Amino acid sequence: MDTSGFYKLDLQSGGIVFAPNFVHGPSFVLSRDDSGSKLGEIAGWRWFESENEAYFHFNIQPSDRPWSISPLQARIALHRTVKNGSTLLSQVESFMVAAPVEVKIAWEKATEFRRNSPTLLALAQVLGLTDQELDDLFVLAHSIIV
């Protein structure tokens, strides 16, 4: 599902408002054609390539998704998920051998993994995970109860 579009923080609900194709106000009209321009933020509206990017930018978490999982849940979900012929857990462990020290510390000592942390997003990119695949991984991990 394409979630690119215009997003705006809704101050009343604390959530975000989404307009996939265009937004307009008294002195402006923005359409998808303007998405690549450097318009910045107009009347609170801003273009994002995905819903996740918008939530991350506005620093809010939707309540309908698990945005935080335990390291145990993460490792089991990574073990259960195969991509490119091997489990994601084995791919992460291989990456950690040469990872920067702070990334290794985070992997070994974190008490939770947050869906939109910059470190996790960078690791997902290394693994070649799409936003949807990362969401699916968090849903799977969240379902693991030990």
The pLDDT value recorded for residue 40 is 60
Q: Which two tokens stand for residue 133?
A: 């695949």
Q: Using a cut of 0.75, tell me whether the model's pTM lies above it.
A: no
Query: Partners of 68 in the beta sheet?
Result: 114
Task: State the Cα angle at 139 between 106 and 67, rounded to 5°.
Answer: 50
pLDDT tens column, 16-32: 888 888 888 788 888 88
Q: Which two tokens stand for residue 70?
A: 């335990």
The pLDDT value recorded for residue 36 is 65
3-state secondary structure of 4: coil
Task: State the Cα angle at 95 between 91 and 98, rounded to 5°.
Answer: 160
Residue 13 pLDDT more than 80?
A: no
What confidence tier does 127 reach under pLDDT thresholds 50, 70, 90? very high
The pLDDT value recorded for residue 39 is 61
3-state secondary structure of 48: strand
Q: What is the mean pLDDT of residues 26-49?
A: 77
Average pLDDT, the chain: 85
The pLDDT value recorded for residue 89 is 97
The pLDDT value recorded for residue 48 is 86
Of 9, 12, 146, 14, residue with least CA distance to 69: 146
Q: What is the mean pLDDT of residues 42-71?
A: 81
Question: In terms of DSSP H, where are the helices of 45-113?
Answer: 51-58, 71-80, 88-97, 101-109
